Amino acid sequence: MGRQRRVTLADVAARAGVSSSTASLAYSGAGPVAEPTRQRVLAAAAELGYAGPDPLARSLRQGRTGVVGVVIGERLLDAFRDPVSVALLDGISAELTPLGSALLLLPGDTRAAGQPPERVALYPLDAMVFAGCDDEHPLIAHVLARRVPAVAVEGPRRPELPIVDIDHLGGSRQAAEHLLQLGHREIAVVSLPLTADTRRGPVDPARRAACTFALCRDRLRAVEEVLGPTVRIVETASNLVEEGELAGAELFESSPRPTAVIAQADLLAIGVIRAAAKAGLRVPEDLSVVGFDGIDSSGWLGSEQLTTVEQPMYEKGHVAGRMVAELVAGRRPADVTLPVTFRVGATTAPPAA
């Protein structure tokens, strides 16, 4: 006996004594079908062990799969460790699930995956979400060429893609002004990665100019507007506490030692605070630290509140999800920029005299 052919809707229809079009209607409910007929079809299906129309064939005909691709950051594992990314996924998912769509997690770094980008673009997708990606992410071109509708979240910033963003400029500016008003003069920035080829360490003007992450660019620009273009920047390789700690350690060994640090993310800020503790520096007495994001830091810092720029993480996800829904429905959604709130916590104070 050879491999038996799969049971198809046509088999079911034949057994029920109806045409396959009628059998299809019995399943989809897209047209009038007499109840007895429907029962006969369902009975025939049960006898043959038919579990319903094949999703692939249906998708091909309808041109819709219910699968929405997501590229989130460069490395998936790092994204999972970042509450902001997770909140984004959750928000998108919350909007899309009721519409019958689910998220396909695509490995952000196709280079690491050892696959050419076009190999990755082979999934049957209704839409794509690029979150926190490089403006030149290799998948973007392929997705656009295939005319798969796509949205960006905080970058990539490209004219073809509608984007949901937050007020990086305003938030960062307030953070910098806050430190300035407290009297700090030696302020350093611990930044997120500037480009997709991750490096770590001090940022010189050439590197600064090469920044391809829109988010990082904006946050740097705002700080430079307030503190001047020569502000000292240390770059991290990823948005992780460990990375913040490395950057912090580097800063505290240098001289003049900064009296305040602007971290471009709360996770980095927490890392900086840890590095400070290890270097014997008290926060905020010896060092002020400002973060960005407004995550729940109680797990990391105990009860002390981080001074930070709160962004609407979930709302961002919900908006992105609704944008995807719009795109799939054939409309082009307008760009959205969500406001942020600067919140003073317990990690900033005037510098020691």
Partner DNA sequence: CGATTCGATCGAATCGATTCGAGTATGCTT
Partner DNA sequence: AAGCATACTCGAATCGATTCGATCGAATCG
Question: Which residues here bind DNA, judged by CB under 7 A?
Answer: 5-6, 8-10, 17-22, 24-25, 27-28, 30-37, 52-54, 56-58, 60-63
Q: Which partner, DNA, its own copies, none, binds residue 97 by CB below 5 to 8 Å per kind?
A: its own copies
Look at the block and give the residue holding tokens 């930070």: 308
Residue closer to DNA (CB basis): 146 or 199? 146
Cα(142)–Cα(338) distance, rounded to whole angstroms? 29
Q: Is the dihedral of CA 343, 94, 164, 74 positive or negative?
A: positive
Nearer to its own copies, 227 or 313 (CB): 313
The terminus-to-terminus CA distance of the chain in angstroms comes to 89
Size of the site for its own copies (CB under 8 A): 50
Amino acid identity of residue 48, one-letter, is L
- Residue 43 interacts, among DNA, its own copies, none and using kind-specific CB cut-offs from 5 to 8 Å, with none
Residue 94: CB atoms within 10 A of its CB come to: 13
Residue 142: CB minimum distance to its own copies, A: 7
What's the DSSP call for residue 99? G
Residue 274 CB partners (closer than 8 Å, separation 6+): 241, 244, 245, 248
**Is 48 a residue that touches its own copies (CB under 8 A)?**
no
Residues 137-166 that bind its own copies (CB under 8 A): 142, 145-147
CA–CA separation, 243 vs 75, rounded Å? 14
Residue 38 has what DSSP assignment? Answer: H
Would you give the binding string for its own copies spanning residues 65-84, x where CB under 8 A is met? xxx-x------xx--xx---
Q: How many CB atoms lie within 10 A of CB 39?
A: 13
Q: Give the Å distances, CA to CA, from 328 to 35, 65, 93, 175, 240.
A: 33, 11, 15, 38, 34
The smaller minimum CB distance to DNA, of residues 57 and 346, is found at 57
Nearer to its own copies, 107 or 345 (CB): 107
Q: How far is CA 316 from CA 40, 52, 274, in A?
A: 48, 37, 29
Give the C-alpha separation, 282 to 227, whole Å: 24
Q: Which does 105 bind (CB under 5 to 8 A by kind): DNA, its own copies, none?
A: its own copies
Which of residues 124 and 345 has its CB atom nearest to its own copies in the complex? 124
Residue 32 binds which of DNA, its own copies, none (CB < 5-8 A, kind-dependent): DNA
| Beta carbons of 287 and 261 less than 8 angstroms apart | yes
Under the binding rule (CB under 8 A), the answer on residue 56 touching its own copies is yes
Q: Which does 151 bind (CB under 5 to 8 A by kind): DNA, its own copies, none?
A: none
Report d(CA 345, CA 288) in Å as an integer. Answer: 10
Residue of 117, 124, 202, 345 that binds its own copies (CB under 8 A):
124
d(CA 285, CA 187): 15
Does position 52 bind its own copies by CB under 8 A?
A: yes
Cβ proximity to DNA, 25 vs 251, nearer residue: 25
Site for its own copies, residues 219 to 248, rule: CB under 8 A: 241
Among residues 147 and 206, whose Cβ is nearest to its own copies? 147
Least Å from the CB of residue 119 to its own copies:
6
- What is the C-alpha to C-alpha distance for residues 231 and 205, in angstroms, rounded to an integer? 11
Closest separation in Å from C-beta 102 to its own copies: 5
Token readout for 84 is: 């902001």
- Nearest-Å Rg of the Cα atoms of the chain is 26
Least Å distance, CB 31 to DNA, is 5
- Residues lying near its own copies in the complex (CB under 8 A): 6, 49, 51-52, 55-60, 63, 65-67, 69, 76-77, 80-81, 86, 89-90, 93, 97-98, 100, 102-107, 113-115, 118-125, 142, 145-147, 241, 299-300
